[in-house]
């Protein structure tokens, strides 16, 4: 009997020591993974190290000291096992979160080129493109077009299917007319230009007259600011972010600039009308709506948008315009102050669910669907597009306030889930970790103000549509005094001044 009891005690002693060792190793691993992540401030990390150290010492004494009864040994072993499992799962979870954060941000965008033929054409598949003529558009990413043509030439050459003769057309209307008039057998254009083509009355039947015979998709790097304008210390140096909201066709319907001073906890959000009359890519011969610059590529939008401001953008963040609904739902909605009553028409695409909404004046809590409806409506607003700009600023301000609050920690997983692959930005995960670390450490409320650049509507020619269709397109001539005011406010924030806007 004594031998059995001694054997049992030896087993408990060994098991107690083993679980203590496993707990100590998993604790050290967890702390290392957490510290390498760089999100938690040092004081938070020290508290975690202190608590785990106390448990390691306490459980170590129980495991190693003689005379400790079996009940305490069993209790210590059980707790060590449970905590070890929790710490191991936590370490794995941190790695998963790192991957999710990494997957959110990309500095590339997908560009798809279609080759169209007329429906009554004998050209049906890529093999039929040999010994044909193809129209090329100047509104296509040159590098992508070159790569796509090279792939096509190589394929046709490999199977001795014949060559393709190309002709370049400057203007959407010219290249479509060339196809309709059978000057060329096919045309190659970017997919996001199709809806723009169908906006032109003469081509509203484009879908019914053509067919896709070849498709080529490529990833393109979005060029933002050069290295001279990158921030060295994101938690101390003020920075400027170009924020764009892009629709399915590549148009930038949201154009905002966020000027951030991390030391003064000040954020200035400046909104710019989508119809701002702008030289696309800085070319004065290519005047059109700011929103259309995205048709030529996000880097063209970046460079066009930059021309309005005196201060270089340090970063860009481009978000799928419609994903705002999912983001707002992921944080359990936002609270805003709506300055006036208006209604929206969901059936016109203002709401993902197709609902009509009424927005009374005053404090409102908005879910994702209502938020998207709120920022998209313009027809029922007193100042039309300018009112929509105002609403976009109101929503971004409310969202930043929500994202910088302590309660956001509980929504982290759902936010990462909905944002995955929906944000194009030159922010890196390391920058995000440092900003989160700063916010957790300081735990201060940010002073967020908005300013809306305004302008006057006029009608003129559209470079993208073509001059053949007359001066029939609504543009906005920005009021110079509002542009000067926006730049002055940006300077104040960058210089560390606390600003208020009445």
Residues 68 and 217 in one domain: no
Please check whether residue 176 lies inside any domain of the structure. yes
Residues 259 and 186 in one domain: no
Residues 416 and 487 in one domain: yes
Q: 369: which 2 tokens?
A: 């669907």
Beta bridge partners of 475: 458
Q: 162: which 2 tokens?
A: 């014949």
Please check whether residue 474 lies inside any domain of the structure. yes
- In which domain, by residue range, is 56 found? 2-105
Residues 190 and 292 in one domain: no
User: In the listed set 221, 240, 259, which residue is the last one of a domain according to the structure?
Assistant: 221
Please check whether residue 359 lies inside any domain of the structure. no
User: In the listed set 192, 221, 250, which residue is the last one of a domain according to the structure?
Assistant: 221
Can you give the CATH number for the domain in which 479 is found?
Answer: 3.40.630.190
Residues 112 and 198 in one domain: yes
Please check whether residue 441 lies inside any domain of the structure. yes
Can you give the CATH number for the domain in which 133 is found?
Answer: 3.40.190.10
Number of domains in the chain: 3
User: In the listed set 105, 126, 153, which residue is the last one of a domain according to the structure?
Assistant: 105
Q: 230: which 2 tokens?
A: 């990158």
Please check whether residue 312 lies inside any domain of the structure. yes
Please check whether residue 376 lies inside any domain of the structure. no
Residues 306 and 294 in one domain: yes
User: pLDDT tens per residue, the chain (502 residues)?
Assistant: 455 445 556 667 788 888 889 999 999 999 998 888 888 888 888 999 999 999 999 988 888 887 778 788 888 889 999 999 999 988 888 888 787 777 778 888 889 999 999 999 999 999 999 999 999 998 888 889 999 999 999 999 999 999 999 999 988 888 999 999 999 999 999 998 888 888 888 898 999 999 999 999 999 989 887 765 678 899 999 999 999 998 877 889 999 999 999 999 999 999 999 999 999 999 999 999 999 999 888 999 999 999 999 999 999 999 887 788 888 988 899 999 999 999 887 655 555 556 688 999 999 999 988 998 898 888 888 888 888 889 999 999 998 888 888 777 667 777 777 777 778 898 888 888 888 888 888 888 899 999 999 999 999 999 988 877 778 889 999 999 999 999 999 999 999 999 887 6
Please check whether residue 374 lies inside any domain of the structure. no
Planar angle of CA 174, 175, 176, nearest 5 degrees = 95
Cβ-count burial 361-372 (b if 16+ within 10 Å, e if not): eeebebebbbbb
DSSP track, 147-205? HHHHHHHHHHHHTT---EEEEEESSHHHHHHHHHTTSSSEEEEEGGGHHHHHHSGGGTT
Please check whether residue 346 lies inside any domain of the structure. no
Measured CA to CA, the distance from residue 282 to residue 279 in angstroms comes to: 5
Residues 128 and 38 in one domain: no
Residues 313 and 401 in one domain: yes
């Amino acid at each position: 009997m004594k031998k059995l009891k001694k054997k049992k005690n030896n087993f408990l002693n060994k098991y107690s020591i083993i679980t203590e060792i496993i707990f100590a190793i998993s604790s050290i691993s967890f702390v290392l993974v957490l510290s390498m992540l760089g999100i938690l401030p040092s004081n938070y990390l020290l508290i975690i190290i202190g608590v785990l150290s106390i448990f390691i010492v306490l459980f170590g004494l129980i495991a190693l000291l003689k005379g400790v009864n079996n009940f305490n040994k069993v209790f210590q072993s059980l707790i060590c096992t449970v905590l070890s499992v929790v710490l191991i799962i936590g370490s794995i979870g941190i790695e998963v979160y790192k991957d999710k954060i990494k997957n959110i941000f990309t500095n590339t965008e997908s560009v798809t080129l279609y080759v169209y033929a007329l429906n009554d054409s004998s050209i049906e598949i890529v093999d039929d493109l040999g010994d044909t003529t193809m129209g090329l558009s100047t509104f296509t990413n040159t590098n992508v077009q070159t790569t796509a043509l090279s792939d096509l030439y190589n394929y046709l050459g490999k199977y001795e299917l014949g060559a393709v003769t190309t002709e370049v057309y400057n203007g959407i209307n010219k290249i479509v007319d060339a196809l309709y008039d059978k000057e060329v057998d096919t045309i190659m254009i970017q997919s996001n230009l199709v809806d723009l083509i169908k906006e032109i009355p003469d081509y509203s039947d484009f879908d019914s007259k053509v067919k896709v015979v070849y498709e080529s998709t490529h990833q393109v790097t979005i060029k933002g600011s050069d290295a001279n304008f990158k921030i060295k210390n994101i938690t101390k140096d003020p920075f400027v972010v170009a924020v764009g909201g892009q629709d399915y066709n590549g148009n930038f319907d949201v154009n905002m600039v966020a000027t951030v001073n991390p030391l003064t906890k000040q954020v200035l959000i400046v909104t710019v009308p989508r119809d701002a009359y702008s030289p696309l890519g800085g070319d004065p011969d290519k005047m059109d709506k700011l929103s259309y610059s995205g048709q030529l590529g996000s880097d063209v939008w970046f460079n066009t948008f930059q021309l309005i401001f005196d201060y270089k953008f340090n970063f860009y963040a481009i978000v799928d315009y419609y994903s705002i609904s999912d983001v707002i739902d992921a944080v359990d909605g936002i609270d805003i102050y709506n300055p006036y009553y208006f209604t929206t028409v969901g059936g016109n695409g203002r709401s993902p669910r197709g609902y009509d909404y009424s927005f009374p004046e005053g404090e409102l809590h908005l879910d994702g669907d209502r938020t998207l409806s709120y920022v998209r409506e313009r027809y029922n607003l007193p100042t039309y597009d300018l009112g929509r700009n105002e609403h976009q600023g109101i929503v971004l301000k409310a969202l930043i306030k929500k994202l910088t609050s302590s309660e956001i920690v509980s929504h982290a997983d759902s936010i990462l889930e909905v944002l995955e692959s929906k944000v194009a930005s030159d922010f890196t995960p390391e920058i995000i970790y440092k900003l989160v670390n700063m916010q957790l450490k300081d735990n201060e409320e940010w002073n967020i103000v908005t300013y809306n650049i305004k302008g006057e509507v006029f009608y003129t020619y559209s470079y993208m549509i073509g001059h053949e269709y007359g001066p029939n397109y609504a543009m906005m001539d920005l009021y110079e005094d509002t542009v000067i005011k926006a730049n002055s406010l940006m300077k104040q924030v960058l210089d560390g001044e606390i600003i208020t806007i009445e």
